[in-house]
Amino acid sequence: MIFRHRFDPTSLREYDIRGTVGKTLGPEDAYAIGRTFASVVAGDGGRTVVVGYDGRLSSPALERALVEGAMASGMDVVRIGCGPTPMLYFASADLNADGAVMVTGSHNPPDQNGFKIVLANRPFFGAQIAMLGQMAATGNVVAQASGTTRMVDIRAAYIDRLLRDHDHDARALNVVWDCGNGAAGDVLSLLVKRLPGRHRVLNAAIDGRFPAHHPDPTIPANLQQLITAVRQDGADLGIAFDGDADRLGVVDDTGAIVWADQLLLILARDMLRARPGATIIADIKTSQVVFDEIDRAGGRALMWKSGHSQMKERMAETGALLAGEMSGHLFFADRWYGFDDALYAALRLLDVISRLDGSLSDARRALPATVSTPELRFACPDTRKFDVITEVATRLAQAGADVCDIDGVRVSTPDGWWLLRASNTQAVLVARAEGATQAALDRLKAALSAQLAQSGVTLPDHADPATPH
């Protein structure tokens, strides 16, 4: 029987396959992903695919259909069950698998879900995802076969590996953790039992309805429960995970948010003491302070595109030992595998804090000060968002502006810089601006707003708050 399937075109994204369950994504799509991706693996001479899933209510059904599709293309499927996305990445590396697929909606709303894909321990994205859609539509898959499936509980091996690099002689800390009812809950609860110090875990129960708050630690409102707990406990810090635990958010001992680029700089300075001259990558949304300070600390700072797949590829190309994004993805290739793992990054952070002369808040306040907006995300249709960027870029080029265009437009002026880019995962535009003073920031935001207005887009009111940085 000839296999053919057409995906909803909006589900085939740059970094993953994602949609609204029951509308643009369902079990038939999961089966098709299994069937086509397994055909890619088989075409490369591979045989083994690892599959995992997050805590969303729709994930078990999608995982079952995915496994059926992969088996129908002759794969030996290793099922690791429910857990964090980085645990899947670890399983793929540890088991020397030929491919891996994670069923996860990450930080998106509860009615959405998706698939993150790995081929030979490298991200599978961009043109490769488009190729899957074409393969399914044309029926370009291997002949029907009968694969196998087996369950493997990888949690103990994953936790052991996480702890291998942890400094067990480090100063014991008081830490509050917030799993956000996401996929980190079970593993994190086991992990903290083996850590020194005091550890309080919030929202550990995996629940795809996310009853406590939405699992996106980049949004300050989602950190309020953690901030309250840190202040109540007099904790050294608080750490929050997103829905599949490949991103984290951090608050210091005063309850102030440590933004992801500040966190990257704190980690980078510590790593560079042992690895002088190391290349460290930050995404285009990152504060200029981070690039300047990494260079000053003896590192080689590189700016690159936002997106976890883009970052991992760039790290492999450059030999970078550390990378980070404003979205909270942190990537260690120093003693780790180069993939984004919020649990591993959290342990590395605990080691750094234990070595500080003062507190995390002291380290945050000692960073060079600027005034910036947080990451601003506002709705723009998928059919329009990239056109807006093209229009803005064209006008800036005509005006002779100082522009970095590796990912959207980052415009440098004597006041500082502003950024506008299109999200590759959601129907939104993303903006940010940073200046030395509030007046400088106001001028940068006015320039950004004027460019958007010329393309028929209004910078929303929530873009007003500025954050000392």
Provide the number of structural domains found in the chain: 3
**Distance (Å, whole) CA 153 – CA 117:** 20
Per-residue pLDDT tens listing for the chain (469 residues): 689 999 999 999 988 999 999 999 999 999 999 999 999 999 999 999 999 999 999 999 999 999 999 999 999 999 999 999 999 999 999 999 999 999 999 999 999 999 999 999 999 999 999 999 999 999 999 999 999 999 999 999 999 999 999 887 889 999 999 999 999 999 999 999 999 999 999 999 999 999 999 999 999 999 999 999 999 999 999 999 999 999 999 999 999 999 999 999 999 999 999 999 999 999 999 999 999 999 999 999 999 999 999 999 999 999 999 999 999 999 999 999 999 999 999 999 999 999 999 999 999 999 999 999 888 889 999 889 999 999 999 999 999 999 999 999 999 999 999 999 998 777 899 999 999 999 999 999 999 999 999 999 998 865 444 444 5
pLDDT of residue 3: 93
- Looking at residue 395, which CATH number applies to its domain? 3.30.310.50
Give a yes or no: residue 418 inside a domain: yes
In the chain, what percentage of residues exceed pLDDT 70?
Answer: 98
CA distance readout (Å), 248 to 386, 400, 443:
28, 38, 31
Output the CA angle 270-276-281, nearest 5 degrees.
75
Paired tokens of 330: 């942190």
Q: Are residues 354 and 414 in the same domain?
A: no
The DSSP call for residue 339 is: S
How does pLDDT run across 178-214, given as a tens digit for each residue? 999 999 999 999 999 999 999 999 999 999 999 999 9
Q: Are residues 350 and 375 in the same domain?
A: no
Q: Are residues 148 and 190 in the same domain?
A: no
pLDDT of residue 469: 54
Q: Are residues 212 and 278 in the same domain?
A: yes
Q: Are residues 359 and 402 in the same domain?
A: no
CA distance readout (Å), 226 to 195, 229, 384, 415:
20, 5, 37, 35
Q: Are residues 322 and 346 in the same domain?
A: yes
**Distance (Å, whole) CA 435 – CA 467:** 11
Give a yes or no: residue 270 inside a domain: yes
Give a yes or no: residue 437 inside a domain: yes
Final residue of a domain: which of 153, 182, 217?
153
Give a yes or no: residue 4 inside a domain: no
Q: Are residues 213 and 360 in the same domain?
A: yes
- By annotation, the residues acting in catalysis are 106
**Distance (Å, whole) CA 377 – CA 429:** 6
User: Max alpha carbon distance in the chain (Å)?
Assistant: 68
pLDDT of residue 462: 55
**Distance (Å, whole) CA 33 – CA 5:** 10
How does pLDDT run across 279-310, given as a tens digit for each residue? 999 999 999 999 999 999 999 999 999 999 99
Q: Are residues 215 and 314 in the same domain?
A: yes
**Distance (Å, whole) CA 327 – CA 283:** 9
Q: Which domain holds residue 198?
A: 157-166+174-365
Q: Is the whole model's pTM more than 0.75, yes or no? A: yes
**Distance (Å, whole) CA 211 – CA 444:** 38
Cβ burial 139-171 (10 Å sphere, 16+ → b, else e): ebbbeeeebeeeeeebbeebbebbeeebeeebe
- Looking at residue 196, which CATH number applies to its domain? 3.40.120.10
Final residue of a domain: which of 313, 330, 365?
365
Give a yes or no: residue 396 inside a domain: yes
Q: Are residues 344 and 383 in the same domain?
A: no
Give a yes or no: residue 2 inside a domain: no
